[in-house]
């Protein structure tokens, strides 16, 4: 501790300013707590700066370009569509800047003190925050840890100018002619799709038997069909062996069915998962209990094994989703304020911004049966919906999982255009205990994609109008 380092006293310290941390800080301040939030990086964390937001901006730009090139079946043709990728990146940056600036305004507007630096825990009520020049001690009654995660780096695929993590792929200065993606999860599929829309020749190497694990095969089949149409080659059960960097690109070696193969490309994108940022912040000094994967163990109120320290987001069990982190942040802040809040993950949606989009909330049919429920699965296709037809987006379906005895909605899956939006109503149905009859009786605007949920509910009731 430096001379003159008098401790600053707080009610609540939030470590990490991503979508979990900044939401937790604002909610804590709203309950009357004196709050400081600390982050060594930019406000908004991975999600706003190098994750959710910029990736969706790039995906949208790719879609716009692909659509602008023409739709022959609609009578639209264009042979002169071009891309100024520097302007795409400039636009993407403006989207990010607007949101991160907004986060700063929200924190300040709620009287949250913002501090930049690295945190190290001294004990259960004390941290030291360090930057390049200074060290300051803070004492707190409660702390919420929201330090997020980082891309996993494989030993044989060290990141470089040509071997990229997701951040590197988002910030390329050029559209690659060829790109290899290791990992067919949501990040690899999303970014692979984005660059394929920009006419990059993409190859996805997935180590398991299918891409987008966790989603039903009927859903992933639709994505693979679109990927093939875009010229993307998906190689499953492919084990990446190594990479050789050349002057202008990479040579990637992989094994499939016992045969070793090599593929050349301009860039290699490695997306094999993320690891929690729980090292080197002094958690061992405090006695916070952790799993062998470096995840912090929490109870249903996001409380760790140390009663005044809470953890949320990618550093705890569960999928690394920004909206999950925000949800947990609110819970932790409310518990500190004495409210009877606790986490319930059933209503948290999983979304992939693939083409078409995939979304799932609650139980799948398989999971529901394994949990002991007798269920009915009811589907309605996009192809029988007027709005989907007018959008020329007829691939996909809405599937409802309802309890057999009373029609209670306990799960839903959506594959198709705007699935990320359609899933919201179905999540609400689960959260509020709605039945298939409730959904069917809700009048939906026509023509709209939202009608498909109503139609699927009518299928569940045995009274469908627009399919036999």
Residues shown for the chain: 468
From 331, 332, 466, select the one nearest 398 (Cα to Cα).
Answer: 466
Contacts 24+ apart (CB under 8 A), 383-390: 384/455, 384/466, 384/467, 385/447, 385/449, 385/451, 385/452, 385/455, 385/466, 386/446, 386/447, 386/451, 387/447, 387/448, 387/449, 387/451, 388/416, 388/417, 388/449, 388/452, 390/447
Residues 6 or more apart whose CB falls under 8 angstroms from that of 408 comprise: 402, 433, 434, 435
Q: How many CB atoms lie within 10 A of CB 260?
A: 10
Contact 144, 26 (CB under 8 A): no
Query: Cα separation of 166 and 160, whole Å?
Result: 12
Report yes or no: 359 and 347 within 8 Å, Cβ to Cβ.
Answer: no
Contacts of 259-267 spanning 24+ positions with Cβ under 8 A = 263/180, 263/203, 264/178, 265/176, 265/178, 265/179, 265/180, 265/201, 265/203, 266/162, 266/176, 266/177, 266/178, 266/179, 267/162, 267/163, 267/164, 267/169, 267/172, 267/176, 267/178, 267/179, 267/180
Q: Is 54 helix (H, G, I), strand (E, B) or coil?
A: helix
CB atoms within 10 A of CB 94: 11
Cα separation, 326 vs 428, whole angstroms:
17
Report the distance separating Cα 47 and Cα 39, nearest Å: 14
Taking the C-alpha atoms of residue 48 and residue 42, their distance in angstroms, rounded to an integer, is 9
Q: Among the options 67, 323, 444, 446, which is catalytic?
A: 446
> Among residues 122, 115, 134, which one has the least CA distance to residue 284?
122
- Catalytic residue status for 444: no
What torsion, rounded to 10 degrees, do the Cα atoms 44, 47, 52, 53 define?
20
Q: Are 362 and 410 in contact (CB under 8 A)?
A: yes
SS3 sequence of 231-291: CCEEECCEEEEEEEECCCCEEEEEEECCEEEEEEECEEEECCCEEECCCCCCHHHHCCCEC
Catalytic residues: 446
């Amino acid at each position: 501790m430096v001379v003159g380092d008098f401790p600053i006293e707080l009610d609540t310290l939030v470590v990490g300013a991503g979508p979990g941390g900044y939401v937790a800080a604002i909610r804590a301040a709203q309950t009357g707590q004196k709050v400081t939030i600390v982050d060594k990086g930019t406000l908004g964390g991975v999600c706003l700066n190098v994750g959710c937001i910029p990736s969706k901006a790039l995906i949208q730009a790719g879609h716009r370009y692909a659509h602008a090139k023409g739709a022959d079946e609609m009578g639209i043709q264009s042979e002169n569509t071009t891309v100024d990728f520097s302007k795409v990146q400039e636009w993407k940056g403006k989207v990010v800047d607007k949101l991160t600036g907004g986060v700063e305004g929200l924190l300040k507007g709620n009287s949250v003190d913002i501090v930049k630096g690295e945190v190290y825990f001294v004990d259960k009520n004390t941290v030291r925050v360090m930057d390049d020049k200074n060290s300051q001690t803070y004492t707190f009654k409660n702390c919420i840890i929201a330090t997020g995660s980082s891309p996993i780096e494989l030993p044989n695929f060290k990141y470089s100018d040509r071997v990229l993590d997701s951040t590197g792929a988002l910030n390329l200065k050029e559209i690659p002619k060829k790109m290899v993606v290791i990992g067919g999860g949501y990040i690899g599929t999303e970014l692979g799709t984005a660059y394929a829309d920009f006419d990059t020749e993409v190859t996805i190497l997935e180590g398991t038997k299918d891409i987008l694990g966790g989603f039903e095969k009927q859903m992933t089949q639709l994505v693979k069909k679109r990927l093939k149409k875009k010229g993307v080659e998906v190689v499953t059960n492919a084990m990446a062996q190594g990479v050789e960097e050349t002057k202008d690109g990479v040579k990637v070696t992989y094994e499939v069915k016992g045969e070793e193969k090599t593929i050349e490309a301009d860039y290699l994108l490695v997306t094999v998962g993320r690891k929690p940022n729980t090292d080197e912040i002094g958690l061992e000094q405090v006695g916070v209990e952790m799993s062998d994967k470096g995840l912090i163990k929490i109870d249903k109120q996001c409380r760790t094994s140390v009663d005044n320290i809470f953890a949320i987001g990618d550093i705890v069990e569960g999928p690394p989703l920004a909206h999950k982190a925000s949800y947990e942040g609110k819970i932790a802040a409310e518990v500190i304020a004495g409210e009877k809040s606790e986490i319930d993950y059933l209503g948290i949606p999983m979304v992939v911004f693939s083409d078409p989009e995939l979304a799932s909330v609650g139980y799948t049919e398989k999971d529901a049966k394994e949990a002991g429920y007798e269920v009915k699965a009811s589907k309605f296709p996009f192809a029988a919906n007027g709005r989907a037809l007018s959008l020329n987006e007829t691939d996909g379906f809405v599937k409802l999982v309802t309890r057999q005895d009373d029609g209670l909605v306990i799960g839903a899956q959506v594959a198709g255009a705007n699935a990320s939006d359609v899933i919201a109503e179905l999540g609400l149905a689960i959260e509020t205990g709605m039945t298939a009859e409730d959904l069917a009786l809700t009048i939906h605007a026509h023509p709209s994609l939202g009608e498909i949920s109503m139609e699927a509910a009518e299928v569940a009731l045995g009274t469908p109008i627009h399919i036999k």
